Every structure is written in structure tokens, then in C-alpha cells.
Amino acid sequence: MIKSCYFALSRKGVDEEITKELEEKKADLQPKVVEIYEASAVEIKTLVKQPTESGLKKKSTVVIKFIEELVKIEFPGSKPVSEAASKHGPALVSGPVIFIFEKVSTLLPAEAEPEPEPEPAAAVETTGKEITPEGAEETKKEEAPAPPAPAEEAVAPPEPAPEPAKA
């Protein structure tokens, strides 16, 4: 069973079929995949983004649970992988599990999520105030502290003066 599952999913034709089916269902699957991913534990989020065989072995229960959630939304290729992972463990069928995780990660939003959070807060502040030259200066002052940090790192400590040569 392990070999047949791995063989079935590792064949180029099956990979292409799964990829094609995923592209066809992408619009329907993407919100479901994102919902499952966001509701998952941190361990599985890390494994989906950067799957490793050792990670699959250490976190086998969360991996199986995540794949079972993918089966519920009929994610292409997830059913045979789920069956094999449940029966033999994700580490023994790591190739197909990693393949599925790679396909899942293509449906997830980019990692640049933390940066947009401060922008809406700043937008709320500026929409409630009139923009005046003084307000613009305050905004510049708030933004100004970030650039000096690299400059401090660039300044090297003064070197001690060389000792005078002894005659």
C-alpha cells in the first residue's frame, strides 16, 4: 500500500492530473483551504510552508488531522494520501504528503500579512484628523525613528590610538 500510494502520486501523469484538477477548482478550494490552514495549529502551518520528513514524523497526528480536513473539502489527491498516512504514518509516505502540502501552499496568501496591519491603524488616525503641515511633521517624526537604527549599527567604535614606539 505504501509503495502503491507513493508510486501513484509520484508518477508525473498523476501529478499533472492533480495540478490540473486543482487549477480547475482553485476558486472554490482557495477560501476553504485558507480557512482550514488558519484554524490549524502553528506546527502544521510551519510544515505546510516548509515540509520536512522529520517534521512529518514528529507531528504525525496534526499532519493526519490536516489531511483529513483536506479530504472533507475534496482537495485533489488528498484521499489516497490520507488513507496511507492514517494507516502507515505520514513519515512513511512523506513524498505524497509533501506534494499535497506544496499544492496547499500555492493556495495560501503571501507571507506579507504582518505589515498591512499597522497601515489600517494609521489610516484610521489620519482619516479622523485634518491634514495640516503640523500633522504632516508629526507623521514624519513618527516614521523617522526607524531609519537611525541601521545607522547606529554602521558606526564602528573608535579604535584605540596606537602606542608610541619605544626607543
pLDDT reported for residue 157: 56
pLDDT reported for residue 145: 52
pLDDT reported for residue 17: 87
pLDDT reported for residue 109: 86
> Mean pLDDT, 10 residues at a time, over the chain (167 residues)?
48 76 90 94 91 92 94 93 92 92 90 43 50 53 51 54 62
Q: Which of 36, 42, 7, 159 is nearest to 104 (CA)?
A: 36
Residue ranges per structural domain of the chain: 2-106
pLDDT reported for residue 70: 95
pLDDT reported for residue 38: 93
Q: Which of 116, 138, 119, 118 is nearest to 129 (CA)?
A: 138
Enter the C-alpha cell of residue 64: 493526519
pTM above 0.75, yes or no: no
pLDDT reported for residue 99: 92
Please give, one letter per residue, the 3-state secondary structure of 61-90: HHHHHHHHHHHHCCCCCHHHHHHHHHHHCH
